[in-house]
Amino acid sequence: MQEERLTDKDLAPQQEIERAYDGYIRHKRLVMFALVVIVCALAVWSMAIGSIELSPGEIVAGLFGQADGRVNTVVQNMRLPRVLVAVIAGIALALAGCAYQSTLRNPLASASTLGIAQGAAFGASIAIILVSGGSPHNSAAYEGVSTGDPVITALFAFAGAMLSTVVILGLSRFREMSPESIVLLGVALSALFTAGTTMVQYFAEDSQVAAVVFWTFGDLSRVTRAQIVVMAVVTAASAVFFFVNRWNYNAIEGGEGLAHGLGVNVSRIRLASMVVASAAASCVIAFCGIINFVGLVAPHIMRRLLGADYRYLLPASALAGAALLLISDMLCHVVVAPLILPISAITSFVGAPIFIYLLFKGVSR
C-alpha cells in the first residue's frame, strides 16, 4: 500500500500537466470552431444584403439552384463569387502576413510594409497607362472609367509585386541583412514604387490617372471565375506549404539560435516562406487591387487569443482574415447604400483601430 501511495504521488504532477495541456488544446480548438461558425455566418449574411434582400432560406435554395430565376442569378452570379473572393483573399493575406512576421521576427511585416502592394500598384500603372493606353478593346470599366485589359493589368501588377520581393531577397542575400533591416528595406521600396507610380501618372491623361486610382481602390466584384480558381489554387498551395513548416516557425519563434540547434535551416526557411507568401499576396492584390491591414491585423488578433503556436495560429489567422474581409465587404455595401465604397478604405478603417488597440494592450502589458 505504501508503494502504491508513493506511485500515485509521483504520478500526480504528470497527470496535472496532462490536464493542463488538454485544457490548453481544448481552448484553441474551441476558438477555431467559433471562427469557423463566424466565417460561415458572415458569408451567409454577406449574401443576404444588397439591393435585393434575401432570407437565409432563399440563399441556401439559390446556392443549389432551387429558388426562382432571379434569386438564382443574384446568388450564383453576383454574391457567391464576391463572398468566395473575400474568403480566399482574406485567407491568403492573413497567411502571408503570419509567415512574414514569423520568419522576419517583426510584428509589422506584411505585404503593405514590405513594398509588395506598392509594387503591384506601380505595375498596374504601367499596364493601364503605357501598355493598354486606355484602349477600349477588351477593357474593363469601373464607374465608367476604363482600366484597360484586365489580364494585362493583373499580370503587370503581379510582376510589380514580385519585383519588390526579388529586390528584397537579392539585397538581403548579397549583404546578409538582418530581419529588421529587411523590413526597413521594404519601407524604402514602398516609397520608391510610390514615387514611380506618381511619375507615371504625372505624364498620363486624366482618364488614365482615374483608371489607376480606381484600380488601387480595390474591388472584390471585378474578379472573374477563372481568376477565382487561380487565387484558390495559389492560396491552397501556400497554405499547405505554411502548415508543413509549422514546426519550423515554432522553432524560429524561440530564436534563431534555438532553431539552428534543432536543425532548422533558418535562412532557407526564410527565403522559401517569403517567396511563397509574396506569391500568395501578389496574386490577391493583382486581381483585387490594394487591400490593407488584413495581413497585418489578423495574425496579431489570433496571437492574442491563441499564443504563438503556429499549429493553431496559422489556420486561426486564415479564418480571422476571411472574417475581417467579409466584414469589410459588407460595410462597403451598407454604409452609404446603394453606393459601394472602396474595399481598401474600409479595411484600413476597420484594421487601423484594431491594430492601435492591440498595440496599446501590448504596451500596457
At 168 the pLDDT is 86
Q: What value does the mean pLDDT take over residues 105-132?
A: 87
pLDDT band at 6 (very low <50, low <70, confident <90, very high): very low
Amino acid type, 120: A
Q: How far apart are CA 285 and CA 158, in angstroms?
A: 8
| CA 358/CA 4 separation, integer angstroms | 51
Nearest to 165 by CA among 270, 92, 259: 270
Residue-averaged pLDDT of the chain: 84
Compare 44 and 18 and report the one with higher pLDDT: 44
Q: Which of these ranges, 11-25, 130-144, 232-246, 317-331, has the smallest mean pLDDT?
A: 130-144
pLDDT for 365: 46
Whole-number pLDDT of residue 11: 54
Angstrom distance (rounded) from CA 198 to CA 209: 10
Q: Is the pLDDT of residue 360 over 50?
A: yes
Better-scored residue on pLDDT, 357 or 240: 240
- Position 237 scores a pLDDT of 96
Tens of pLDDT, residues 137-193: 444 544 444 455 778 888 999 999 999 888 888 887 776 677 778 888 888 999 999
What is the C-alpha separation between 334 and 49, in angstroms, rounded?
Answer: 8
**For residues 73 and 86, what is the distance between their CA atoms, to the nearest angstrom?**
19
- Quote the pLDDT of residue 148: 56
d(CA 73, CA 55): 15
142 SS3 class:
strand
What percent of the chain shows pLDDT beyond 70?
90
Residues 6+ apart with CB under 8 A from 328: 86, 294, 343, 346, 347, 350
Q: What is the DSSP letter of 308?
A: S
- The three cell numbers of residue 302 are 489570433
Q: How far apart are the first and last CA of the chain?
A: 49
Which amino acid type is present at position 182? I
Q: What pLDDT, on the 0 to 100 scale, is given for residue 35?
A: 95
* 168's grid cell: 528584397
What band does 64 get if pLDDT is binned at 50, 70 and 90? confident
- What integer pLDDT is reported at residue 362 of this predicted model? 58
* Predicted confidence (pLDDT) at residue 44 exceeds the cutoff of 50: yes
Q: For residue 41, give the amino acid letter.
A: A
DSSP string, 42-93: HHHHHHH-SSS---HHHHHHHHTT-S-HHHHHIIIIIIHHHHHHHHHHHHHH
Is pLDDT above 90 for 205?
no
Look at residues 105, 88, 129, 34 and name the one whose alpha carbon lies nearest to residue 251.
105
Is the separation of the CB atoms in 173 and 185 below 8 Å? no
Confidence of residue 7 (pLDDT cuts 50, 70, 90): low
pLDDT band at 12 (very low <50, low <70, confident <90, very high): low
Residues 6+ apart with CB under 8 A from 105: 179, 252
Between 21 and 61, the more confident residue is 61
pTM: 0.87
* Least-confidence region, from 93-102, 184-193, 256-265: 256-265
pLDDT digits (tens, 9 = 90+) for 206-221: 888 888 888 888 888 8
- The whole-number pLDDT of residue 318 equals 96
345 Cβ contact list (under 8 Å, min separation 6): 217
Is pLDDT at 87 greater than 90 in this prediction?
A: yes
